[in-house]
Amino acid sequence: MADFGTVGYGMGGGFADGAPGIPGKGSRKAPPGVFEEARLSFNRRAMSWYGIIAFLLLWQLAPYAGITDRDFIPPLSVVAAEALRLAVGGELFLHIASSCQRVLIGLFLAVLVAIPAAVLLAGFFPRVTRFLSPLLALLGNINPFALFPLFILLFGVGEGAKLAIIFWSSLFPILNFAIHGVQAVDPTYIKAARGMGADRPRIFWKVVIPGALPSIFTGFKMGATTAFLFLIAAEMLAANSGLGYLVHNASLNYFIPRIYVGVLGIAILGMGFTVLIDKAEKLVLGHKEEAKAG
Amino acid sequence: MNPENSRAENGQGPLLRLFYKFGAIALFVLLWQLACAAGLAPETFVASPIVIAKTLWQYATDGSLYRHSVISLSRAFYGFLLAVAAGVPLGFLLGGWFRNFERVMGPLLYFLSQFNPFALFSVFLLLFGIGEFSKVAMIFWVSIWPMVHNAALGVRSVDPLHVKVARSLGTGKLRLLWKIVLPSSATYLFAGLRLAAGTAFFMLIPAEMMGASRGLGWLIINAQVNYQIPKLYTGTLAIVVFGMLMDAFFRLLERRVVVWKEAKCQP
């Protein structure tokens, strides 16, 4: 069915399709400007990499141009070679695995404590929450570093103290945001649900929890960021594996490229983790999409 | 923590408000003291509040608290100031004006923000030496990111209609920035300031690990190494108090400056 109406409309597309001789079929299959579109969307996606690529290029070339000191900031290729050497030996994956394990356990414990506590406090005991919130603010301001001796006392020098540092540093963002999220649920929704005869557990699961979830996710992301921040610190204090240990050991031995391997490894790990959380958030909060844009 | 809540219940008596504000902390301190007195918490690891208060008083009277505080505050202040000076313009650029700038620079800045300050520790030492600057650089590196993030959010929250109206009335670029963009994004900017200041204080301890010989962070680390537990808790308390005072100061400033807008509730 030759449809000549589309030819004029999709001139560019029809020709770019490589089938100028058969105007009808060619233009029907490929909507106008499809290549243009693809090129643009590729460009749009690639653009987010331009900055990083430029930065990495600069890193590689700066020592040769004499802008930076080769010994202090070795070119990227040297760092990459070192990473490769560590990866081939399997050592790198061991460090990554043990760092991941610590962060995941620490965060899991923090979530396990913070979210039920926050929902319980803010959802059922608003007065108690108000009473406790100055104390929570105070405790959240205490640096986990300063508590390290206490953690050693309570959990020993092994994994326990490190997990406690991660737990402590991620607990308060998660807790505070979750409390805030529950408090910020629109009372109209609760009233509406009650008016339609929903009982308490139903209101809780259908209104309060979904309403608080965006804030809970924000808190979780902040908690994860601080967890990664302090993971490295904890591993520098006392550990014999993990990316923090890798960096610490390298800096003690003045093995500069290895420091950067650790720094990059931590950055990539942190970014990957955030991407995963974002994906999970999108999956869970699909219904929130429009409200958030507004 | 929750301005809306406290404002809504301002009608209650001042005594009750005081109770809500300090009750939990007082109770916590009391329980802590009782636990120490009952021997539940071993003295080698946990100092009782009375001992901490005594140590604090001793440091306050012999002037060492003042000496350490001044140096720490100036480090935190310079790091914070640099972070604000660099972070606000960067955030504004990211948030508006040039869309492509955000697309290109956004991921890079995010990538850089993941560079762990503790891991960069030795790099900072190598680059800047063990002087003041490496400490300031470390504080700067951590506290710039919340500032950038919030400034970008703030610019995005500006109502485009306001900008269009102002522009059609013939407002120049600088005036537009001063009259529309800054006031509209003020809540976010203040949130960024508070976060950046908080982070700056938080980073004092690790920053002063780097070959300092004075400062509250150094006090804590020195106490830790020598196992002087009361001193450790005293230094921690001082940093917490300074951090919270700073937070309160910025909240107050926000309320004074942003008089036309309800304060956003942010934990």
Give DSSP secondary structure letters for A46-61: HHHHHHHHHHHHHHHH
Same domain assignment for residues A138 and A219: yes
pLDDT at residue B105 is higher than 60 = yes
Same domain assignment for residues B221 and B89: yes
Minimal C-alpha gap between B99 and chain A (Å) = 11
Interface list for B 68-127 with A (CB within 8 A) = 100, 103-112, 114-123, 126-127
Q: Nearest-CA neighbor of B202 among A240, A235, A173, A157?
A: A173
Q: Give me the mean pLDDT over the B215-232 stretch.
A: 84
B126·A232 Cβ contact <8 A? no
Q: Nearest-CA neighbor of A172 among A139, A149, A145, A144?
A: A139
Domain boundaries, position A47: 5-65
Confidence bin at A76 (pLDDT 50/70/90): confident
Domain boundaries, position B35: 1-41
Note the ipTM here: 0.77
Confidence bin at A114 (pLDDT 50/70/90): very high
Alpha carbon distance B203, B223 (integer Å): 17
Mean pLDDT lowest for which of A257-271, B41-55, B232-246? B41-55
B118·A244 Cβ contact <8 A? yes
Same domain assignment for residues B104 and B196: yes
Mean pLDDT lowest for which of A34-38, B4-8, B119-123? B4-8
pLDDT at residue B79 is higher than 70 = yes
**Per-residue confidence (pLDDT) for residue A287, from 0 to 100:** 59
pLDDT at residue A105 is higher than 90 = yes
Residue A110 contacts B, CB cutoff 8 Å = no
Same domain assignment for residues B69 and B11: no
Q: Residues A50-69: pLDDT tens digits?
A: 888 888 888 888 888 877 77
pLDDT at residue A263 is higher than 90 = no
Counting residues of chain B whose pLDDT is more than 70, the rounded percentage is 91
**Per-residue confidence (pLDDT) for residue B11, from 0 to 100:** 52
Q: Is residue A70 included in any domain, yes or no?
A: no
Whole-number mean pLDDT of chain A? 79
Whole-number mean pLDDT of chain B? 81
Same domain assignment for residues A111 and A49: no
Q: Which residues contact A134 (CB under 8 A, 6 or more apart)?
A: B1, B20, B21, B22, B24, B25
Which two tokens mark A223?
Answer: 């908690």
Compute the residue count for chain A: 294
Residue B202 contacts A, CB cutoff 8 Å = yes
Residue A90 contacts B, CB cutoff 8 Å = no
Same domain assignment for residues B10 and B83: no
Provide the domain count of chain B. Answer: 2
Q: Which residues contact A179 (CB under 8 A, 6 or more apart)?
A: A118, A121, A122, A129, A133, B267
Q: Which residue on chain B is closest to A50 by alpha carbon? A: B104
| Chain B residues closer than 8 Å to A247 by CB | 116, 118-119, 122
Same domain assignment for residues A88 and A61: no
pLDDT at residue A95 is higher than 50 = yes
**Per-residue confidence (pLDDT) for residue A109, from 0 to 100:** 94
pLDDT at residue B22 is higher than 90 = no
Confidence bin at A15 (pLDDT 50/70/90): very low
Same domain assignment for residues B59 and B33: no
Q: Is residue A164 included in any domain, yes or no?
A: yes
pLDDT at residue A23 is higher than 70 = no
Minimal C-alpha gap between B104 and chain A (Å) = 5
Confidence bin at A12 (pLDDT 50/70/90): very low
Q: How many CB atoms lie within 10 A of CB B128?
A: 16
Same domain assignment for residues B37 and B167: no
Q: Residues B37-54: pLDDT tens digits?
A: 887 777 777 788 888 888
